Amino acid sequence: MNGGAVAAEAARRRTFAVISHPDAGKSTMTEALALHASAITQAGAVHGKAGRRGVTSDWMEIERARGISITSAALRFTYRDHVFNLVDTPGHADFSEDTYRVLAAVDCAIMLIDAAKGMEPQTMKLFEVCRHRRIPVITFVNKWDRPGREPLELLDEIEERTGLRPTPLTWPVGAAGHFHGVVERLTGRIVRYERTPGGATKAVETELSPQQAAAELGEDYARAREELDLLEAIGADHDQKTFEEHETTPVLFGAALPNFGVATLLNVMVDLAPPPAPRPDVTGARRPLDAPFSGLVFKVQANMDPAHRDRIAFVRVCSGRFVRGMVLTHAATGRPFATKYAQQVFGQDRATIDEAYPGDVVGLVNAAALRPGDTLYEQQPVTFPPIPSFAPEHFAVARVADTGKAKQFRRGIDQLDAEGVIQVLRSDLRGDQAPVLAAVGPMQFEVVQHRLAAEFGARITLDRLPYTLARRTDAAAEKVMARQRGAEVLRRSDGTLLALFTDRWRMATIQRENPDLTLEPLIADTTAVPDGVG
């Protein structure tokens, strides 16, 4: 296939993630987008009544039980002759590291905010990652069918907190909790929404004339017109260049659960969201889209299908055409990697994929050699920048409850470490039977316990350690630290030595007494990253 054909296929791709604070409705939005694209026939509900379906993207038992997303999942579907690769992300702050990896693979993000709560802490944390990566952001103000804040107040907060200038594409008719519909600013269309039972099918949309809207919606429509005049007066209009340069954010209003405004969001993704672009390698040079195949591994997940007990590496295609069966080179080792078993993934469901183009996400099965951040390529060598790890703040010693399951325990720990579910630290003093698990948030420990028991038959006990922060160190410091209280040096599976401390005061005291001690923040690359990432 020639380069022009690859570029044309890339132009049809939209690869994006939905970011939000927990409970803002992210998984519900993911499901609603798939519903409106006719990829599914009935939407699930993460917080519905007993007997209703779970969301497509939440496949793990613990996710369905808690009603939150813990792992990232890739959903692929077609809409208006465009291929959407929607990478769902964990909805809980404890799994920010997984979200960070996902954001290394997307070209755009939908920032979902609660109409009543506005910009919440986890939303801001994930937005900062988008800012760092210069990922364009489309804002969707969700839950407008429930009581919430004034729309102009929310716009002010978005601009104040993010520094992006909001440019509303739709404007609500009716205050939050009294949602009638929206006015589309670019076309002037007035759309009234009608709820379907439980929001399980597409919402009914009726176009109204200005005269009909004035007669049927009265003061709510009159107020919306006044606010629209104000937006026009201040020039809050969409500009594609400033959007793609991460200076403005298009804003839409709606409600994912009853599917209000979801079809409009899909159309905005087709019309405004950027397609894949040449990606910079470790030297800063951008690999052209029509160069030979290259891809970035951003996620590794085992046992998604209990019947097969396999391991899938999710690869974002960065350049060229992927063909199933092609033999690639693993940049980290220089070894060949065969792609006989390649799949597209829709939640837990899979189908063989024979070809893919820039922007697509390919699932490579039985990819035991691959880890998040690895590069695969054909012909022309390339290595993309590594994906930084978050600095752990919670630590616990893991021990298998039944010593007869020691083999399964070791295999499971190594598997979860390779996936990036948890960071695993070891030392000669503690031994291999008692590794230290290092986590960004304590819920990661619950996932490890659940998966070790469910997938490997190895129940574990966890003994929490008093440490709260980690710094990179060296072998010379390891000897010094061995004599200190409230501190310890352990080795991460990638060979990095980490010095752990009970608190900043203890770290400062030790450093003051040993001024030559090497203690560096956990920064995995040469660029600045948000606080807590390293």
Q: Which residues are annotated as a binding site for GTP?
A: 88-92
Please provide the DSSP assignment of 479-495 as one string.
HHHTT-SSEEEEEETTS
Binding residue positions: 88-92
Give how far Cα 129 sits from Cα of 113, 152, 244, 478, 530, Å. Answer: 16, 26, 16, 33, 7
Q: Which DSSP category does 386 fall into? A: P
Residue whose C-alpha is closest to residue 450's, from 61, 94, 58, 55: 61
Residues pairing with 323 in the sheet: 355
The 3-class secondary structure across 129-162, one letter per residue, is HHHHHCCCEEEEEECCCCCCCCHHHHHHHHHHHH
Residue whose C-alpha is closest to residue 17's, from 115, 101, 132, 141: 101
Rounded CA separation 356/174 (Å)? 44
Residue whose C-alpha is closest to residue 10's, from 250, 322, 246: 322
Give how far Cα 521 sits from Cα of 331, 361, 426, 518, Å. Answer: 26, 32, 20, 10
Rounded CA separation 34/269 (Å)? 13
For the record, the structure tokens of 299 come out as: 């996620």
Please provide the DSSP assignment of 244-272 as one string.
HTTSEEEEEE-BTTTTBTHHHHHHHHHHT
Rounded CA separation 489/336 (Å)? 36
Rounded CA separation 155/170 (Å)? 13
**Is residue 68 classed exposed, middle or buried when 0-12, 13-18 and 19+ CB atoms within 10 A define those classes?**
buried
Q: What are phi and psi of 515, to 5 degrees?
A: -60, -20
In degrees, rounded to 5, the angle at the alpha carbon of residue 293 between the alpha carbons of residues 288 and 298 is 95
Give how far Cα 97 sits from Cα of 53, 70, 391, Å. Answer: 28, 11, 9
Residues 6 or more apart whose Cβ sits within 8 Å of residue 407: none
Rounded CA separation 285/239 (Å)? 28
Rounded CA separation 244/138 (Å)? 10
For the record, the structure tokens of 428 come out as: 């000669």
